[in-house]
Structure 1
Amino acid sequence: MKKTILSLALITVFGTSAFAGPIDGEKKEVKTSESTVTWKAYKVGGSHVGNINLKSGALEFDGDKLVGGEFVVDMTTINTTDLQGDYKNKLDGHLNSDDFFSTASNPTASLVFTNVKANGKNSYEVTGDLTIKGIKAPVTFDVSVYDTKATATLKVDRTKYDVKYGSGIIGTAKDKLIYDEFDLVVDLQM
């Protein structure tokens, strides 16, 4: 009798789990030409704003719930939008140089979601691995998802990625000081 009950219990547990299988999420590719990544960096006495193009990206859903995401940014497209002419060309060149993002040797940056937690209707707290200049460090930020759109704002500490030019180091002239954190404002179309 005990063997029969044990056998039925095992069949029930293992038989049911054989049919359950893993949850297959729906991956929604991001329309890179319709999506935007805007950066804003701050310095003593001002700021600069610009864009970076997405190379690829997707959000993963289980039903209507966000469960993952992965993005690649084309760092060679980094540019300023608040300057014109020689000033713009000079800053764009400097951002691409080894002082900042070394885009010749590091043409892409990436973000891979490692944890997604719902914190309200259509709102999620996301932790992910952000890789810039080949250096990976975790970031946490909020994402809002509405139908075919998603938005997020990330605060990034550039010194974690060896982007230290003009950082608050001893000996830096106050008018040349660039704040370590910059913002990324992301608007995605799927």
Structure 2
Amino acid sequence: MKTLLLKSFVLVALITFTSCGDKAKEAETTKAAEAAKAEATAVNYKVDTENSTIEWKGFKPTGEHFGTIAIQEGKLQATDGELAAGKFIIDMNSIEVLDIPADDESHAKLTGHLKSADFFEVEKFSTSNFEMTGISTKDGQTMLSGNLTLKDATNNVTFPVTVDNKGETITLTSETFTIDRSKWNVKYGSKSFFSDLGDKFINDDIELKVVVKATKA
């Protein structure tokens, strides 16, 4: 019996460790910074909303949910072929849950909950936005920094990206990264705000992957 219990404990610990290790790295998060400004000679690119999206994933002790959010509009600017500035608007009404079938009643329930005041309060804050503040290279990776506004809070986040400039189009693709939702006052089920949740909490980490494709204006 002791051997069985020990094996069970080791298995649970291994699964827990592996799950934590699989989570994407949190974006460096600081106070909002001054937006990047492109030179007057910069080439303007209009965001192709049909081919741009944000993938999200949220976690709780009993599992995870994932889906997408649409980009409503935006533009990128390049100088000498290098990304110099940009901003895009996120349509919070477009939050979509993909891990639950659309005809399952829990699909509508979760979607509505995410849009409610418990989470992103979409009725009041129908859009969010990201505005570039800088781009740099660190350890061989291209790092994009920008002010991310969710609800009534703005923080500067830095995460790794690839930028593919083909002349007529620019595609900006982030690596998967996480943000800590508590820093944007998304409080529901967060142990950062409530101490009596037991195992009913929802992780503060939200995984994101951003793909923005833009065409020369």
Q: Which moved more, 1:82-91 or 1:97-106?
A: 82-91
Give the distance between the partners of 1:60 and 1:182, measured in 2 at CA.
28
Q: 2:207 matched to which residue of 1? A: 183
SS in 2 for 1:83: coil
Q: 2:60 matched to which residue of 1? A: 43
SS in 2 for 1:102: coil
Deviations 1:21-60 (A, max 9, x none): x552212111001112111111113111011110112222
SS in 1 for 2:49: coil
Q: 2:178 matched to which residue of 1? A: 155
Q: 2:198 matched to which residue of 1? A: 173
**Change in CA separation of 1:63 and 1:119 when aligned onto 2, cut-off 3 Å:** farther
**Residues 41 and 49 in structure 1, CA contact (< 8 A), matched pair in contact too:** yes
Aligned-residue offset at 1:65: 1.1
Q: Which has the higher contact order (CA 8 A, sep 6+)?
A: 2
SS in 1 for 2:109: helix
Alignment of 1:63-102 (within 5 A): 63-84=80-101, 85-102=104-121
SS in 2 for 1:166: coil
Unaligned runs of 5+ in 1: 1-21
**Residues 154 and 184 in structure 1, CA contact (< 8 A), matched pair in contact too:** yes
TM-score after normalising by structure 1:
0.82
Give the distance between the partners of 2:135 and 2:208, measured in 1 at CA.
19
Aligned-residue offset at 1:120: 8.0
Deviations 1:118-159 (A, max 9, x none): 4588x5211111101021111111120123322013421111
Identity %: 33
Give the distance between the partners of 1:157 and 1:25, measured in 2 at CA.
34
**Residues 126 and 143 in structure 1, CA contact (< 8 A), matched pair in contact too:** yes
Q: In the comparison of the two structures, how many residue pairs are matched? A: 167
Unaligned runs of 5+ in 2: 1-38
Give the distance between the partners of 1:104 and 1:149, measured in 2 at CA.
31
Q: 1:11 matched to which residue of 2? A: none
Aligned-residue offset at 1:182: 0.4
Q: 1:138 matched to which residue of 2? A: 156
**Residues 130 and 138 in structure 1, CA contact (< 8 A), matched pair in contact too:** yes
**Residues 27 and 58 in structure 1, CA contact (< 8 A), matched pair in contact too:** yes
Give the distance between the partners of 2:130 and 2:96, measured in 1 at CA.
20
